Amino acid sequence: MEALKGRDVLSLADLNTTEIQDLLDLAAKLKGGEINLRCNKVLGLLFYKASTRTRVSFSVAMYQLGGQVIDLNPDTTQVGRGEPLVDTARVLDRYLDILAIRTFDQQELELFANYAQIPIINALTDLEHPCQILADLLTVQENFGSLAGTTLTYLGDGNNVAHSLMLGSALMGMNVRIATPSGYEPNPDIVEKAKAIAKGSEVIVTNDPIIAVKGSNVLYTDVWASMGQESLAEGRIPIFQPYQLNEELLSIADPNAIVLHCLPAHRGEEITDGVMEGGQSRIWDQAENRMHAQKALLASVLGAN
């Protein structure tokens, strides 16, 4: 993966089809123990938002590669006291080998990338969540053997996960359907970008969950109010109820369809307990694959061998 060495990954659109496929194949080999890569590097985690899977999976992946991790909690570093991001970026550039950032504004991530020479990885912004989708694609590949031609339906809020799912699915030749209530559709610029890069596949945004789910191979959902929007959650429940991933909608999908959720889940809201714990759920495999996909990404960007 020399092509990725030293590169930033701020969006899935920063990667091409071959690079994503190579990452997925490397992740599968790492997961299966077919290869063992090492790199004596230091990863910094600068997270302005809460995290369980991203923080732990990045940390474990880096430790397993033989590297080290420094948790740069904004509450205990100078960024929490107002140090300009450009100053922080230039200083961390002198200490670290790679930096994963979880923040609100995509522009803050881009600012870091402009002022730091080390690779910057998007560990989630309000606009995108590329590392999550690498794990999702790995999970789909494990279940169907290939990605091209499969159909993925996302139900719920047109958020960062929906954005990255559109981009990743389009690049890999998957059909992607985004079903949201009116007024909660994904960013139109991301929709157009996904359509432009689609590899002979469809990118559909609809307000009809039944049309979106019919015959789909993968059903995917996320919380109805993202981090930072928790105060809106209760008011959204009646609006989003028709988009709940439940047994009725699952019955309309392909009989061999799998269920994904990026977690954390609000059981009984965006997904029923029965579907989440049912035989078609691959949610726990998906969560595990965060570590394998990110290990492949770290190894590739850092040039592990």
Checking if the pLDDT of 274 tops 90, the result is yes
User: The tokens 């029923």 sit on which residue?
Assistant: 272
- Whether 262 is catalytic: yes
Query: What is the pLDDT averaged over residues 32-40?
Result: 96
Which one of the listed residues 21, 39, 97, 132 is annotated catalytic? 132
pLDDT score of 77: 87
Model confidence at 228: pLDDT above 70: no
pTM listed for this prediction: 0.96
- Catalytic choice (163, 262, 282, 294): 262
Architecture of domain 132-286: 3-Layer(aba) Sandwich (3.40)
Domain ranges of the chain: 2-128+291-302, 132-286
Closest residue by Cα to residue 291 from 6, 109, 118, 52: 52
Question: What would the pLDDT profile of 82-91 be if each residue is shown by its tens digit?
Answer: 899 999 999 9
> Rounded to 5 degrees, what are φ and ψ at 234?
-65, -40
Q: Which of 53, 129, 177, 292 is catalytic?
A: 129
Q: Assess contact for 222 and 243: CB atoms under 8 A.
A: no
Q: Please say whether the beta carbons of 43 and 304 come within 8 A.
A: no
Which of 2-6, 31-35, 139-143, 214-218 is least confident? 2-6
Model pLDDT, residue 124? 98
Size of the chain, expressed as the number of residues it contains: 305
Q: What is the mean pLDDT of residues 138-153?
A: 98
What confidence tens digit (pLDDT) does each residue in 161-205 have?
A: 999 999 999 999 999 999 999 999 999 999 999 999 998 999 999
Confidence band for 231, pLDDT divided at 50, 70 and 90: low
**What span, in angstroms and rounded, lies between the C-alpha atoms of 4 and 179?**
33
Residue range 285-294, pLDDT digits in tens: 999 999 999 9
Q: Does domain 2-128+291-302 have CATH number 3.90.190.20?
A: no
pLDDT at 255: 98
Average pLDDT (49-64) is: 97
Q: Would the CATH topology of 2-128+291-302 be identical to that of 132-286?
A: yes
Separation CA 146–CA 143 (nearest Å)? 8
The whole-number pLDDT of residue 281 equals 98
pLDDT range class, residue 227, cuts 50, 70, 90: low
266 noted as active-site residue: no
Whether residue 255 has a cis bond before it, omega within 30° of 0? no
pLDDT at res. 1: 62
Residue 31 confidence (pLDDT) above 80: yes
- Rounded distance between C-alpha atoms, residue 112 and residue 99, angstroms: 9
Exposed, middle or buried by CB within 10 Å (0-12, 13-18, 19+), for 247? exposed
Within a 10 A sphere around the Cβ of 25, how many other Cβ atoms?
A: 14
| Catalytic status, residue 129 | yes
Percent of the chain with pLDDT over 90: 91
Q: Tell me which of 8, 21, 97, 102 is the catalytic residue.
A: 102
Give the active site residue among 222, 236, 261, 282. 222
Q: Which of 53, 177, 290, 292 is catalytic?
A: 290
pLDDT reported for residue 235: 85
Q: Which residues of 72-97 are buried (b: 16+ CB within 10 A; e: fewer)?
A: bebeeeebeeeeebeebbeebbeebb
pLDDT in tens, 62-78: 999 999 999 998 888 88
